[in-house]
Amino acid sequence: MRALESRLLRSVPGISHGFGTAADPAAEKWRSQWEATKPEWKQVHGVGVARVAGPRQVCGEVDALWTDARESWIGVATADCVPILIADREGRAVAAIHAGWRGTLAKILKPVLIQMDRAGFSAEGLVAAIGPSIRSCCFEVGEDLVEQFVTEFPQIPQDVLNPRHRHLDLVAVNEALLRGFGVSEIDVLSACTKCGRDADGSFAFASYRRDGSGTRQWSIIARA
């Protein structure tokens, strides 16, 4: 399966993006630009955010990147965690967020949207796409973690947040957070990284829960 694209993000002028797959982990048609300009950073399942001012920027330990610079590709690596790509509706800025359960619980979207708002890109003018990740069908966790989420997100109906015993829906949480912060246009790519398969029956995505450490897929975006 080739890298996936969001119809919503495709509608934004001047934006290029891709959600990687097992067969096409870094969106082959953009790979040369991505490899030439991607920043240097380390994802640590935290809430650190970096504003990228130009190609190859050293960003340290962060789990979200955003930029209003042209020709500077940014992205995140995932293998079950939730990748979120954001764009200003007029194509003036973009962001990439890595939201695992720790980042989701800590509301990593909040500092991203605060930084972008301070730079003149309000949440009401942004659109977002949530890429393939482990879905509630496969994301089984401990009861204590479910209770933490239920306590932290009382505004989300429990049957949405916790649709099955000891299962969490991280996508639903992040979508609710985006809407709560003012982002109203959201595209959700519904594929599950653990159980999703290609037409030939092979697994379509890298999955840490299924295969352990190793391969990741990239979700990348730029003002092209």
The answer to whether residue 145 is domain-embedded is no
The answer to whether residue 147 is domain-embedded is no
The answer to whether residue 151 is domain-embedded is no
Q: pLDDT, tens digit, for every residue of 23-42?
A: 999 999 999 999 999 999 99
- Burial class for 212, CB neighbours closer than 10 Å (0-12, 13-18, 19+): exposed
- pLDDT class for 120, splitting at 50, 70, 90? very high
Q: pLDDT, tens digit, for every residue of 47-98?
A: 999 999 999 999 999 999 999 999 999 999 999 999 999 999 999 999 999 9
Confidence at residue 215, expressed as pLDDT on a 0 to 100 scale: 81
Confidence at residue 224, expressed as pLDDT on a 0 to 100 scale: 83
Tally of CB atoms within 10 A around 12: 22
Task: Report the CATH number that the domain containing residue 60 is assigned in CATH.
Answer: 3.60.140.10
The answer to whether residue 32 is domain-embedded is yes
Residue environment code for 100-135, b if the CB has 16+ CB neighbours within 10 A, otherwise e: bbebbbbbbbebbbebbbeeebebebbbbbbbbbbb
Residue 221 has pLDDT above 80, yes or no: yes
Sorted by sequence, the CB contacts under 8 Å of residue 12 that are 6+ apart come out as: 87, 88, 89, 90, 91, 127
Confidence at residue 44, expressed as pLDDT on a 0 to 100 scale: 97
Q: Domain count of the chain? A: 1
The answer to whether residue 152 is domain-embedded is no
The answer to whether residue 137 is domain-embedded is no
Confidence at residue 52, expressed as pLDDT on a 0 to 100 scale: 98
133 DSSP assignment: B
The answer to whether residue 157 is domain-embedded is no
- What is the domain extent for residue 182? 7-132+178-218
